[in-house]
Structure 1
Amino acid sequence: MTGVESYRFSQDLAHVYLTIFSLFCFKLFVKISLAILSHFYIVKGNRKEAARIAAEFYGATQGQGSWADRSPLHEAASQGRLLSLKTLLAQGHSANTLTIDHVSPLHDACLGNHVACAKALIEAGANVNATTIDGITPLFNACSSGSASCAELVLQNGAKLQGQDCWASAIHEASSKGRSECMQVLISWGVDIDLDISQQGTPLYVACVHQQYFCIKKLLHAGANVQKGKHLETPLHAAARQSNPEIVKMLLEFGADISARNAEAERPIDVAVTSSPVDRLLLHYEATPSSLCQLCRLCVRGCLGRARLQFIPQLELPKLLKDFLQHK
């Protein structure tokens, strides 16, 4: 290639880059202009026009009830104003009105633990399985806020235990935030307590990471797999990294393998803080074999299987033995 041809090629390439940059700037200008225009209509109170602009801008269908901002129904639901909410519904406001992010009034009611509002919305036809753009459902919000009543309500009206987006798992949310009452509701409805999400692991692992003692206890009593965590990392690894020996002790009593190795070939004792209470506890368990009673209890529970653990109280056995089998 001659010097002249090389110069012309460089010029053409520069024009291509300039064109791409110009298109990017134009698109950015259009986005900012539409956002400002939408905000202007919101301030002026013209929600319908704002919704129309937002629907065109975000590619949403106006028939789905998308709004450029939160509607009065959302505000009433989030603040628990039942009378205002019922009035708006009577005036013809749709119970399935959505924000740009597809948040419904039922999402807000569950997040705020406003059971009466949630019930009114459901009676007006609210979708109990409505999903935001982040995969959040009303059930997830109920577990996030610790509203066992809202969780029970939406489940009674057909809510799915697990939404389409595996990341937004109600049982994992309850585990991470210590919502043991919500967890009990989910367990009673048959949730998969060993649901393994690649980014988070199992609910038991998540509860151990966040040191949620009562959630860990409920999961283990319900038959959660004490060895199943996140990839090769076990719940005991997660607990050993923290400074709560009671959690570590409980996991060991339910059969956690003290010799399990993670992806780095580390045992739980290898990840514990040296000379900490957890470290000393793990050293003691390594040097002390499990008792015959402990081994028998684990064997019996394993033979019964998770589905039949709930029937232990009905067995014709002495109360002391039934309590022993249930780790009481």
Structure 2
Amino acid sequence: MSKPIAGLWDCRRHFIKKRSLESIEEFSACKRKSSWGILTSQGSWADRSPLHEAASQGRLLALKTLISQVNATTIDGVTPLFNACSRGSASCVDLLLEYGAKAQLESCLPSPTHEASSKGHSECLDVLISWGIDVDQDIPHLGSPLYVACKSQQIHCIKRLLHAGANVQKGRHLDTPLHAAAQQTSTEIINLLLDFGADINAKNTDYRRPVEVATPSSLVERLLLLYEATPCSLCQLCRLCIRNCIGRSRLHLVPQLQLPKLLKDFLQYRESITNF
């Protein structure tokens, strides 16, 4: 092949290669644009602020620089505080609350407390409780935080809520937390709710008691049947009565009572009833 022809072929190959690369780049750009279009059509993702992103990823330093948008909401009503609770970042939750984030907005909006309770993020729940949230906040379609935690079998969150004075009877409509727990498998949660005074005879909208919604022949059903046949001890009744008289807002003052440490621990469920 002569040199002029060879040179022509080299130029042709170079031109084809260059056009191929340009086509690939154009395709990639179109694909990225298409992908972004998909993302922006997915509701709340489209209007998530950098603050939402930092909170959902637990990036504390980034969150500090964006803190001026504390109560920003997406189209779905999601706040950065909700994102932080969903992620399980207690430090982000604390920082957001410190700078004015509202833990409880309208009842129709996503609730950080319910999110932490359902996901089992007990440390986030501790922070929320320390900032004075209403542990019995009712969301019509979800119920109380305790009810949500019982449905998800998040025992650490259940303990936090009960120790903070959550109403053991407040669930979703007539369904109590004990109804929710009875449909699951944890006897530990059942015992915990009963210790805090759950009414074993409460009836839901279908007029069924907790034992009647439990799986037949299960350990949960056997435990509830046993509890029905066993009278509540005087110690247990006294503890429940005293805690009710003190009231939820003053339970934190129990350690200051002029009582023996053993009794104060008992009132705070730090001492087993079998020791009395």
Q: TM-score, normalised by structure 2?
A: 0.82
2:65 to 120, 143, 150: 120
Report how far residue 106 of structure 1 moved: 0.8
1:155 aligns with 2:97: yes
Alignment correspondent of 2:155: 213
Report how far residue 164 of structure 1 moved: 3.8
Give the direction of change, closer, same or farther, for the CA distance of 1:105–1:297 in structure 2 (3 Å limit): same
| Cα pair 2:107 2:140 within 8 Å, conserved | no
Matches within 5 A, 1:168-179: 168-179=110-121
Give the direction of change, closer, same or farther, for the CA distance of 1:170–1:240 in structure 2 (3 Å limit): same
CA distance in 2, matches of 1:100, 1:211: 29
What whole-Å deviation, never above 9, does each CA across 1:203-250 have from its counterpart, x for those lacking one?
Answer: 000000000000000000000000010000000000000010000000
1:110 aligns with 2:61: no
Matches within 5 A, 1:56-135: 101-122=46-67, 126-135=68-77
| Cα pair 1:237 1:267 within 8 Å, conserved | yes
Report how far residue 162 of structure 1 moved: 1.5
- Report the RMSD for the aligned CA atoms in angstroms: 2.1
Alignment correspondent of 2:232: 290
Report how far residue 43 of structure 1 moved: 4.3
CA distance in 2, matches of 1:209, 1:41: 42
| Cα pair 2:120 2:149 within 8 Å, conserved | yes
CA distance in 1, matches of 2:210, 2:153: 16
Report how far residue 276 of structure 1 moved: 1.1
Report how far residue 40 of structure 1 moved: 5.3
CA distance in 2, matches of 1:222, 1:140: 21
Q: Percent identity?
A: 61
Report how far residue 313 of structure 1 moved: 1.0
CA distance in 2, matches of 1:273, 1:238: 12
Report how far residue 188 of structure 1 moved: 0.7
| Runs of at least 4 residues off by over 4 Å | 39-44
1:144 aligns with 2:86: yes
Matches within 5 A, 1:1-328: 43=33, 101-122=46-67, 126-164=68-106, 166-328=108-270
CA distance in 1, matches of 2:256, 2:74: 43
| Cα pair 1:172 1:203 within 8 Å, conserved | yes
What whole-Å deviation, never above 9, does each CA across 1:238-277 have from its counterpart, x for those lacking one?
Answer: 0000010000000000000000000000000001111211
* Consecutive unaligned residues in structure 2, runs of 5 or more: 1-28, 271-276
Alignment length (residue pairs): 238
| Cα pair 2:40 2:46 within 8 Å, conserved | no
| Cα pair 1:137 1:163 within 8 Å, conserved | no
* Consecutive unaligned residues in structure 1, runs of 5 or more: 1-38, 45-49, 55-66, 70-98
User: Bigger relative contact order, structure 1 or 2, given CA contacts below 8 A and separation 6+?
Assistant: 2
Aligned residue type for 1:303: C
Query: Counterpart of 1:101 in 2: which secondary structure?
Result: helix
CA distance in 2, matches of 1:100, 1:217: 34
